[in-house]
Structures are given as structure tokens and as C-alpha cells.
A = this chain, B = another copy of it.
Amino acid sequence: MKTRNVFFVSVVLTLWNASSSGFAADLLPSWNPTTAREALVNFVQKVTTPDSPHFVQVSERIAVFDNDGTLWAEQPMYFQAAFIFDRIKQLAPKNPGWKQKEPFASVLRGDVKSALAGGKKAFLEMAMATHAGMTAEEFTKIVTQWLSTAKHPTTRRPYTEMVYQPMLELLTYLRANGFKTFIVSGGGIEFMRPWVERVYGIPPEQVVGSSIKTSYEVRDEKPLIVRLPELNFIDDKAGKPIGIHQHIGRRPIMAFGNSDGDFEMLEWTTSGTGARFGLLVHHTDAEREWAYDRESHIGKLDRGLDEASARNWVLVNMKKDWNKILAKTP
């Protein structure tokens, strides 16, 4: 009965909060009291106050978050790319031909730059060699195992501790105010699902991402989902509103991103009727994290910087607006 009571009390508290307006702005301690934080809190107050002309009912409180560069870091390369390279090294003994075959040969020599020189085609080939050919269940195990041992090359933290403390607080704050939080990422949907519930509190069914095709097969009376080496959907740029439409089926009222890959997601979200909120995280802190924008090959933010102000999107200046960057290690 103890479990039951703890569950009950915690849920009641959450819901009491959800039913009050703009509750718990003090859930955002890592946000400095600057205009970005103020804009966030004002928006949440106005859509959750029952008598406000901007009130939004709970079912429509949908908030979407990019992942790479928005919820967790993305330098010096997308973490999923690090997974691909590590996985190629692991699989090399079973693929002796790779030593003579690009882009695999470069990866095995530790020359990532040359491996990536082959462009999209080479990258796709590496992605398929490491993401397809196993069951969905097996892939989940592979990702989980990699995350439990792999370390970020400069911070030496596990990748799941490369998440932004202010964004974790924001997720909690929004959910305490009745929002349903979704990830809408260019990253692989099955690369995210094994860990985002534990790390972000976002369940697998609220993850939208890029995917490969799968097939349903029954082998020895055991049904399996098998991952095929064929692209299904790229959830980036104009793909993001399409993914949102397909998966969520209603237009979000808040969207959070950090790069031009998120531009259309913010555009789609903020052009609906009623109160709308768009926010771009601008990576400005070379000391505590990384500083990059218009010229970066990862997380390029160019058009977003130009148009944020005219579109009333909030630009978070990481250096100025966040007093903590990475989450505390557990």
C-alpha cells in the first residue's frame, strides 16, 4: 500500500499544480532572470490562466523539442555519428572486407574526416551497416549497451549526461503546467527511445524522429520486427512539420530548437491561431560548452538568427541566460 500512496500523492500534487495557473516558475533555477525566462513564464501563465483570453485547454498544450543541440549537446559531432563509428569498429572483425572499402576503411584507421568526405551517400551506407539487419529488440540492446560505456571525447561524461540542465527544468515546468512534451528530432527514433524516458521523462510514444523501414516476420513461431537497410523518413527541416502532423496530428503551441533544421517546425508551430511560442537555443558559450552558429557544419543557425526577432521567437543566449549548462551527474 505504501507504493500506492506515494504514487497517489505525487500525482495529486502534479495535478493540483497543473490546475493552477503558471505554477512553479521556481522550477527554473538554472535560468537567469533575463528576458528569455520572463517570456517563457509569461507565456505559460497566459495559456494556463482560466480567465485569460489566451487560455488553452490541457489537451491542446503540446510542446515539441528538437534533441541534438536543444536537449543535449551535439559537438564535436552528433552523438549518433559517434555511435556509428564505434559500431563499425565493433563489427569490423565480422566484416573483413571493410579494411579495403571506403568509407569503412577510414573509420577503422580512425580518420573520421576522410570517412565523412564521401558525403551523404557514404554516411547513409555507414548508417545502414550499423542500424539495419537486426531486430528492433536487438537494436535497443545495442544502443543501451553503447550508452552505458561510451564517453564524450572531451568531457569524458556518458552521452546521456551531456543534457542541458535548464532544458530538463523546462520540461518539468511545462509538464507541471499540463503540457504534453514531445521530441521531434532529425536523429533516429529508435536511437532515442531506449533512454529518453529515463533522462527526459518523455515516453517512447512521444518521440518523433528519422527512421528506416521495418518488416514484420515470424521466425520459429516468434514474431519479430526486423530493421531493413532502407530509409523510411527524414525528420528534418520541412520533414519536421510533416512528422508532427503524422505522429501528433495537431499543431503544437510551443516549439524549441537550435538550428535551421528546426526552422520549419518553429514556423509551423508559431503560425497557428491563438497564443504561440517559439524558442531557439543559441550556442554562445565557448567556455562552458561550444560557440557556433552561421558557419557550423553541425547545428548551423543562420536563417533562424536573421528572422527570430521578426517572428517573435525567443533567442536563448546560453552564456547570458543559463547559469548552468550540463545537468548534474546523478
**Contact residues of A with B, CB < 8 Å?**
1, 3-4, 7-8, 11-12, 15-16, 19-20, 50, 59, 62, 136, 180, 189-190, 193, 197, 203-207, 211, 214-216, 218, 222-223, 225, 232, 238-239, 241-242, 245-250, 264, 267-268, 271
Is B268 in contact with A223, judged by CB distance below 8 angstroms?
Answer: yes
Which listed residue (B4, B62, B205) contacts A249, Cβ 8 A?
B205
Whole-angstrom distance between the Cβ of A250 and the nearest chain B Cβ: 5
The 8 closest A-B pairs by CB, nearest first: A204-B249, A216-B238, A205-B248, A216-B241, A193-B249, A8-B19, A225-B245, A4-B19
A223 with B197, Cβ < 8 A, contacts A8-B16, A203-B59, A250-B204 known: no
A207, B247: Cα distance in complex, Å: 8
By beta carbon, the residue of chain B nearest A237 is B216
Interface centre among A4, A180, A246, A250, by most chain B C-beta atoms within 10 angstroms, is: A246
Is A205 in contact with B250, judged by CB distance below 8 angstroms?
Answer: yes
Whole-angstrom distance between the Cβ of A211 and the nearest chain B Cβ: 7
Supply 27 A–B pairs (Cβ within 8 Å), ascending by A.
Answer: A1-B50, A3-B50, A4-B19, A4-B50, A8-B15, A59-B197, A62-B205, A136-B245, A180-B205, A189-B249, A193-B249, A204-B250, A205-B206, A205-B247, A207-B249, A214-B245, A215-B238, A216-B238, A216-B242, A216-B264, A216-B268, A218-B267, A223-B268, A223-B271, A225-B241, A232-B246, A247-B247
By beta carbon, the residue of chain B nearest A204 is B249
A7, B18: Cα distance in complex, Å: 10
Whole-angstrom distance between the Cβ of A28 and the nearest chain B Cβ: 23
Chain B residues, Cβ within 8 Å of A232: 246
A199, B285: Cα distance in complex, Å: 50
Chain B residues, Cβ within 8 Å of A214: 242, 245-246
A214, B239: Cα distance in complex, Å: 10
Interface centre among A207, A215, A225, A267, by most chain B C-beta atoms within 10 angstroms, is: A225
Chain B residues, Cβ within 8 Å of A190: 249
A238, B197: Cα distance in complex, Å: 27
By beta carbon, the residue of chain B nearest A264 is B216
Chain B residues, Cβ within 8 Å of A241: 216, 223, 225
Interface centre among A50, A190, A216, by most chain B C-beta atoms within 10 angstroms, is: A216
17 extra interface residue pairs, beta carbon distance < 8 Å, beyond A216-B242, A223-B268: A1-B50, A4-B50, A7-B19, A8-B19, A59-B203, A136-B245, A180-B205, A189-B246, A193-B249, A205-B205, A205-B249, A207-B249, A211-B246, A214-B242, A214-B245, A214-B246, A225-B242
